[in-house]
Amino acid sequence: MAQKTKILIIGGTGYIGKFVVEASVKEGHPTFVLVRENTTTKHPEKANLIHNFKTLGATILYGDIHDHESLVKAIKHVDVVISTVGGGLVADQVKLIAAIKEAGNVKRFLPSEFGTDVDHVNAVEPAKTTFAGKARIRRAVEAADIPHTYISCNGFAGYFLPTVGQMDTHTAPREKITILGDGNPKGRIINA
């Protein structure tokens, strides 16, 4: 039987990350989750999630995307790095790229950019700026010559519907909705 790939998930306690951790473990991969030491202090609700990861068989590694030494140390345990960091940390993935390059053992990197294919989009603000940041990460991964996979699976209804796509709010607007562009965009469906 072939040896399973060792996977490190960064952002594993977040919106998408928790599902990636669970799927990795259930597929039988030795799964490592990078967690900040103060996660349960700042977010007590995540204590149960981390406990669940341990119960499933994931290994918790303490570190931070802003701590180069902890990143390199964590990355040396694995073959694949999957980043599921949220929007506020997407640009900080350059730190992951540097750590992956230094560790020198990663066979595949999946940066956090789940959503629209940023190389094939014609967006308006505020999405335009967000997509440009994700495109910069793609270029940095390619420049570092790290084996990689980009996952573009379009938007997540569960993320956007509660706010009717109003990216700067946390609840649905009651009186005004901003429609980006002219409200009549052309769409494209690609069947693989």
Domain assignment present for residue 14? The answer is: yes
Q: Quote the pLDDT of residue 192.
A: 42
pLDDT category of residue 191 using cuts at 50, 70 and 90: very low
pLDDT tens digits for range 107-161: 999 999 877 888 888 888 877 888 899 999 999 999 999 999 998 877 655 555 5
Domain assignment present for residue 120? The answer is: yes
Domain assignment present for residue 77? The answer is: yes
From residue 55, give the alpha-carbon distance in Å to each of 17, 60, 124, 164. Answer: 17, 11, 44, 36
134 is catalytic: yes
Q: Is the pLDDT of residue 5 over 60?
A: yes
Phi and psi at residue 85, in whole multiples of 5°? -65, 150
Domain assignment present for residue 109? The answer is: yes
Domain assignment present for residue 15? The answer is: yes
Domain assignment present for residue 70? The answer is: yes
Domain assignment present for residue 169? The answer is: no
Query: Which CATH number does the domain housing residue 121 bear?
Result: 3.40.50.720
Q: In total, how many domains does the chain have?
A: 1
| Upstream peptide bond of 147 is cis (omega within 30 degrees of 0) | no
Catalytic residue among 46, 101, 134, 176: 134
Pick 174 or 108 by higher pLDDT.
108
pLDDT tens digits for range 27-43: 999 999 999 998 888 88
